[in-house]
Amino acid sequence: MPVDIDIARVAHLARIALGDDELAIYGDQLAHILEHAERVQALPTEGVEPTSHPLPMVNAFRPDVVTGSLERDEALAGAPDTEDGYFRVPKILDES
Amino acid sequence: MTDLADLTIAEAGAGLRAGEFTAVDLLEAVQRRAAVTEAHLHAFLTLDRDGARLAAEAADVAIADRDPRPLLGIPVALKDNMVTKGIETTAASQILAGWIPPYDGTAVRRLKRAGAVIVGKTNLDEFAMGSSTENSAYGTTRNPWNTDTVPGGSSGGSAAAVAVGSALGGFGSDTGGSIRQPAALTGTVGVRPTYGLVSRYGLIAFASSLDQIGTFARSVRDAATLLEAVAGWDPLDATSYHGDVPPLARSIDAGVAGLRVGVVTELTGEGIDPQILAATKAMVDRLSDAGAAVVEISIPAIEYALSAYYLIAPAECSANLARFDGVRYGLRVDGATTEEMMGKTRAEGFGPEVTRRILLGTYALSAGYYDAFYGQAQRVRTLLRNEFATAYAKVDVLVSPTSPTTAFEVGAKTEDPLTMYLSDICTIPTNLAGDAAISVPIGLDDGGLPIGFQIMVPALCEETMFRAAAEVERLAGFAARPPLATSEVVAP
């Protein structure tokens, strides 16, 4: 059975501005793909620990020593827009 | 006389050290091969002629000084999701068009330190999402065995380049089969090492718990030599393996006498091309004749691997690709607000398959669905890992076909994403388990297209994997070369 998806909400969460036609296509495709996920959901897994990662590791530490990093100009070199050594973006908050 | 472009790395290394030819000669041979085949293949997105020339000249100086490093002067091709300082790196996406990285990834840095000559950056499915290289924003790569067919993917460019002789070795990444499946479709050897064996620092991330850098070559030994140069702990990748790198090629000539081989029931039946099944069975019989103890092994959870993978991989991809937002690098499409700019940038910058997976992953991780989709898939992953562990208590290696089909025609599977996803049915289980596996060419089908044989081993058992693979290679005696690499076609 196709899964019911609010595809417009999903696209908004993903910050991908899609038109209505595209949303309809992706919505149908996702519903179809997720039908197969129902097989996974039907498997009994009570008491099974999830595997988030293939290696048994908790944390990775290194000595707290200052090491080199990119120069500011190098870090900014690929940016679409910069100003005074900063990344520049359009306004974030409405000024009204 | 053999064209230098058709040598293995071992042969080329011996010839260089014996003074039979120079690293510059070798580079010019692969560059000539690329010059006449690229119009048919489009294996490369970027060729770094100047950088390669400088590296080859430096290698010649070192070789004259009796420097013994095995990759010194060897021309290699890198998948374009491996970050290279000063060389455009796009991951075959519009959203990174024109990006010149300010740093080298760890594997790239180690290759340079090993004296390898980086000839260029190869095509892939955008952000490594696909099984045919058709999802590239810069055009499809073709298979040198038949240019009407795909080379597989996502590392199709590296596979095609190594197959045709535009490089002696190649590097790719394998998240669900993206090295082994194209290796199978192009008649090359492809290795997906144990998760964490090669640092992912500077590999543009797709699904972080599954991604792993690995190698392409025209022999099993070459594939091991390439891997030895890049394997090992890296403080810049917290998930890299912190122990000593196990010996990779130590037992490569040991044969398979006494080796316990399990044939995976779930990967040798329905859904696999009959010619591939027959070739697989014939190779298993020959392994048995060569002294291996062969049994059949069932891993029932494999039936759920594909479905679990298509929840886990998109979920992780949706998180990783959030970084492409038009702020720090790559494409920006203007908007009145930052949010509008981001939405437009991502809509224009990502192709359909990447968009589909980001949406799928965003949905699977969204409030109210996380446990039902991502959490459940991770529990199924545990079930699969447990079954693999049980199997490996009984056998040393597991074997299967690498791909359910040989190379398919361009366009044949682009309409229905689910059909394409089935291309990785034999390879995905290894990624979910975090183990290592290799694909070795064992013959051609009746259409003249290569068939790959997969050998899987537990994590960090690459030594056994290369041992079994070398015997499969010897038994198969696969020496065919793709038509596009033969001299008639290549003559200028």
| CATH code where residue B223 lies | 3.90.1300.10
Q: Is A83 on the interface with B (CB under 8 A)?
A: no
Q: Is A78 on the interface with B (CB under 8 A)?
A: yes
Would you say residue B270 lies in a domain?
A: no
pLDDT-derived band at A96 (thresholds 50, 70, 90) equals low
- CB nearest to B338's CB, from A14, A55, A90: A90
Is the CB of A45 less than 8 angstroms away from the CB of B434? no
Measure the CA–CA gap between B424 and B402, rounded to whole angstroms.
Answer: 8
Would you say residue A35 lies in a domain?
A: yes
Kindly report the number of other CB atoms within 10 A of residue A33's CB atom.
20
Would you say residue A93 lies in a domain?
A: no
Measure the CA–CA gap between B205 and A35, rounded to whole angstroms.
Answer: 27
Would you say residue A55 lies in a domain?
A: no
Residues B135-192: tens digit of each pLDDT:
999 999 999 999 999 999 999 999 999 999 999 999 999 999 999 999 999 999 999 9
* C-alpha of A9 from chain center: 14
Same-domain pairing of B76 and B218: yes
Element (H, E) at B170: strand B169-173
pLDDT for residue B1 = 64
Is the CB of A62 less than 8 angstroms away from the CB of B235? yes
Catalytic status, residue B178: yes
- CB nearest to B347's CB, from A5, A16, A32: A16
Would you say residue A15 lies in a domain?
A: yes
Same-domain pairing of B56 and B117: yes
- CB nearest to B376's CB, from A45, A57, A62: A45
Select which of B93, B131, B136, B154 is catalytic: B154
Same-domain pairing of B317 and B445: no
Closest CA to B360 of A66, A29, A38: A29
Is the CB of B310 less than 8 angstroms away from the CB of A37? yes
Same-domain pairing of B219 and B342: no
Is the CB of B382 less than 8 angstroms away from the CB of A48? yes
Measure the CA–CA gap between B141 and B158, rounded to whole angstroms.
Answer: 10
Same-domain pairing of B447 and B363: no
Would you say residue B316 lies in a domain?
A: yes
Of B354, B371, B388, the position where a domain reaches its end is B371
Output B467 or A68, whichever has higher pLDDT: B467
Half-sphere exposure for B184 (CA within 13 Å, toward CB): 36
Q: Is B214 helix (H, G, I), strand (E, B) or coil?
A: strand
CA-based angle B488:B489:B492, to the nearest 5? 90
Would you say residue A39 lies in a domain?
A: yes
Residue A3 has pLDDT above 90, yes or no: no
Kindly report the number of other CB atoms within 10 A of residue B207's CB atom.
23
Is the CB of B307 less than 8 angstroms away from the CB of A89? no
Is the CB of B379 less than 8 angstroms away from the CB of A48? yes
Would you say residue B276 lies in a domain?
A: no
Kindly report the number of other CB atoms within 10 A of residue B257's CB atom.
10
| Boundaries of domain holding B193 | 4-257+411-490
Contact residues, chain A, for B372 at CB < 8 Å: 41
Would you say residue A92 lies in a domain?
A: no
Element (H, E) at B285: helix B274-289
Would you say residue B152 lies in a domain?
A: yes
Is the CB of A33 less than 8 angstroms away from the CB of B417? yes
pLDDT for residue B491 = 44
To the nearest 10 degrees (0 to 180), the angle between helices B9-17 and B220-230 is 70
Of B371, B393, B428, the position where a domain reaches its end is B371
Would you say residue A33 lies in a domain?
A: yes
CA distance A72 to chain B (A): 11
Same-domain pairing of B146 and B238: yes
Measure the CA–CA gap between B71 and B13, rounded to whole angstroms.
Answer: 7
Report how far apart, in Å, the C-alpha atoms of B413 and of each of A3, B133, B429 are.
23, 12, 22
Same-domain pairing of B229 and B155: yes
Closest CA to B350 of A3, A26, A91: A26
B397 Cβ neighbours under 8 A, 6+ residues apart:
B259, B260, B261, B262, B455, B456, B457, B464, B465, B468
Contact residues, chain B, for A48 at CB < 8 Å: 379, 382-383
pLDDT for residue B416 = 87
Alpha-carbon torsion, ordered B103, B106, B112, B116, to 10 deg: -130
How many domains are there within chain B?
2
pLDDT for residue B268 = 97
Measure the CA–CA gap between A73 and A84, rounded to whole angstroms.
Answer: 11
Is the CB of B355 less than 8 angstroms away from the CB of A10? no
Measure the CA–CA gap between B235 and B81, rounded to whole angstroms.
Answer: 20
Q: Which two tokens stand for residue B36?
A: 């006449």
CA distance A47 to chain B (A): 9
Alpha-carbon torsion, ordered B397, B401, B404, B409, to 10 deg: 130
| Boundaries of domain holding A30 | 1-44
Same-domain pairing of B174 and B240: yes
Would you say residue A17 lies in a domain?
A: yes
Residues β-bridged to residue B47: B120
Same-domain pairing of B337 and B435: no
Would you say residue B403 lies in a domain?
A: no
Tell if the pTM clears 0.90, that is, is over it.
Answer: yes
Q: Is A82 on the interface with B (CB under 8 A)?
A: no
User: Exposure pattern of A51-65 as b/e (b: 16+ CB <10 Å)?
Assistant: bebbeeeeeeeeeee
User: Exposure pattern of B266-276 as b/e (b: 16+ CB <10 Å)?
Assistant: bbbeeebeebb
Q: Is A95 exposed, middle or buried (0-12, 13-18, 19+ CB in 10 A)?
A: exposed
Interface mutation vs chain A, best among B307, B309, B348, B457, most A CBs within 10 Å? B307
Would you say residue B474 lies in a domain?
A: yes
Residue of chain B whose Cα is closest to the Cα of A52: B378
Same-domain pairing of B102 and B229: yes
Contact residues, chain B, for A45 at CB < 8 Å: 376, 379-380, 382-383
pLDDT for residue A1 = 47
Same-domain pairing of B183 and B317: no
pLDDT-derived band at A60 (thresholds 50, 70, 90) equals confident
Same-domain pairing of B41 and B122: yes
Mean pLDDT, 10 residues at a time, chain B of 492 residues:
93 98 98 96 98 98 97 98 98 98 98 98 98 98 98 98 98 98 98 98 97 98 98 94 91 97 97 97 98 98 96 97 97 96 98 97 92 94 97 98 98 91 96 98 98 98 98 97 75 44
pLDDT for residue A2 = 55
Query: Do B423 and B177 touch, CB atoms closer than 8 A?
Result: yes
Rg (alpha carbons) of chain B, rounded to whole number? 21
Would you say residue B400 lies in a domain?
A: no
How many domains are there within chain A?
1
Select which of B132, B155, B178, B439 is catalytic: B178
Catalytic status, residue B79: yes
Size of interface A-B (CB pairs under 8 A): 166
* Beta strands B293-297; B397-401: pairing state: unpaired
Would you say residue B205 lies in a domain?
A: yes
